Amino acid sequence: MERRGDDFIYTSEGSINSIIHGGFEWVSVDVKESGGQGHHLNRIWKKDLNAWLEEHGADMPRYNNDYKEQFFQLGAIERSIGEVNVLIDIDNCYWRTSFLLGYITQETYIKGLRKKEWKVGRNACVGSCVKSKVRVPYVKGKRDLSRRERILAPIEYHYVRNHIIGHIYRLFYQLFEEIGENFFMFLTDCVVTNYKNKAKVEQFFAKHGYETKSKPVEFLRVVRSSKQVFWYDFQSNDGKGKEKYYIYANNQLVDGATKLSILENNERFNKNITTENQ
């Protein structure tokens, strides 16, 4: 098209690139890297979301991003080193939450679960809410950077993403308040506790509409100087086990003394809970 001197538009949105020309749009897909991972689900997810916004958008709460996607109770972790604990993972966490909060229909929810391999695509739907798109026009085959534009995602999409992730955070924090010292850490959609609390945690999430799965893990060490938590996953690496670690930030640390400050930091977010429960 450059050689022919065509007029066209090149777009980029995350890992998705396309060319718009002559009334058609060609989308570039790396089949080897992402084929079969369910990225097509984003289209029907957004269709449902737009329908929801059309009906409810004018009155939707402005959920902010005062939430955490991980937190750690270092003292409790250190006291459990050498013991076999249990990691409990919420099945299809964000996809399920999108359905429970009403953003997608039951039909879309069921379609998205047809294949296990579509997990990447299901998770990407929520992340796509904050992606921006860059459009670069080409005039007579030459890139015109003076007309380059960045199109931000609608603010309502941001509110939806905050609502979904914040909903999960509030559940984990409520669980933390219930099991206290036996709540070691949570990472996005899973929590580590001891086996004594396994049934209690599973029942907690079942009560809120979630199914879970679990596997054994063992904390190995906490290196506070480099802010690292190490554990051994007995079922990682095709069941052979693997050592893993996470580099935490200070604002991801929690203990009994910090409960109040965390709740205060989330005061604005929690104002929207009433609307959500209705």
| Tens digit of each residue's pLDDT (9 = 90 or more) over 32-52 | 665 567 888 988 999 999 999
Look-up: residue for tokens 């308040």?
177
CA distance 231 to 67: 25
Rounded to whole angstroms, the Cα distance separating 145 from 177 reads: 53
Rounded percentage of the chain residues whose pLDDT exceeds 90? 69
Q: 198-207 vs 155-179: helix axis angle to the nearest 10?
A: 140
pLDDT over 70 (residue 257): no
Average pLDDT, the chain: 88
Helix, strand, coil share (%) of the chain residues, nearest 5:
45, 25, 30
- pLDDT tens across 158-201, in order? 999 999 999 999 999 999 999 999 999 999 999 999 999 999 99
Residue 75: is its pLDDT beyond 70? yes
Return the pLDDT at 131: 86
pLDDT mean over 246-268: 65
pLDDT of residue 270: 45
Distance separating alpha carbons of residues 57 and 44, to the nearest angstrom: 18
Confidence of residue 215 (pLDDT cuts 50, 70, 90): very high
Looking at residue 1, its pLDDT comes to: 93
| CA 182, chain centre distance (Å) | 24
pLDDT of residue 268: 43
Q: Is 132 exposed, middle or buried (0-12, 13-18, 19+ CB in 10 A)?
A: exposed
- Measure Cα distances from 115 to 46, 92, 121, 235 in Å: 19, 12, 11, 22
pLDDT above 60: residue 265: no
Per-residue pLDDT tens for 116-164? 989 988 988 998 888 888 999 999 999 999 999 999 989 999 999 999 9
Q: What phi and psi values does residue 82 have, to the nearest 5 degrees?
A: 95, -10
